[in-house]
Amino acid sequence: MPWECVILGIPVSVNTRNKVKKQRWRDAVQAAARAEWPDGEAPLACKLTIHITYYHDRAPLDVDNMMKPIQDALNGIVYVDDKLLTDRHSHLRDLNDAYRVRGLSRAQAEGFMADTPFVHIRIEASSPTVELP
């Protein structure tokens, strides 16, 4: 832990009515997750935090609507159920912006090298809640 993966392409919104497009996106998320999930490892069953960053090419979408299809697609692969996600963080970043990068992960590097919009997902154990914000 942490665990991460990258999905190339433009995510779909939870509100999309195009069932084919929604299923293709779900399949892409699941394929990417399975490729990165360790063979033989059971899905996580503890409290988790998810970070989802969409690196777009001047085509941002509503970040809230982007999260649910991704979270649902990871059920049974990375975690037992998305009810285990106690903290959710979502970000939009323009691929055309300049970034100073420290500690670039292999997954992020793969996304940037693909030269196409992509989604980076990182999952980690949630911190114990000691104080309320």
Is residue 65 a contact partner of residue 59, using CB atoms and an 8 Å limit?
no
Q: Work out the pLDDT band at 131, boundaries 50, 70, 90.
A: low
DSSP string, 88-116: EEEEEEETTS----SS--HHHHHHHHTTS
The pLDDT value given to residue 79: 98
For the chain, give every domain's residue range.
Answer: 3-125
For position 8, what pLDDT does the model report? 96
What's the pLDDT tens digit per position in 36-67?
999 999 999 999 999 999 999 886 678 889 99
pLDDT band at 101; cut points 50, 70, 90: confident
Confidence of residue 133 (pLDDT cuts 50, 70, 90): low
**pTM for the predicted model, two decimal places:** 0.92
- Class in CATH terms, 3-125: alpha beta
- The CA distance from 37 to 35, in Å, is 6
Distance CA 68, CA 16 (A): 12
pLDDT at 19: 94
For residue 49, the tally of other CB atoms under 10 A from its CB is 17
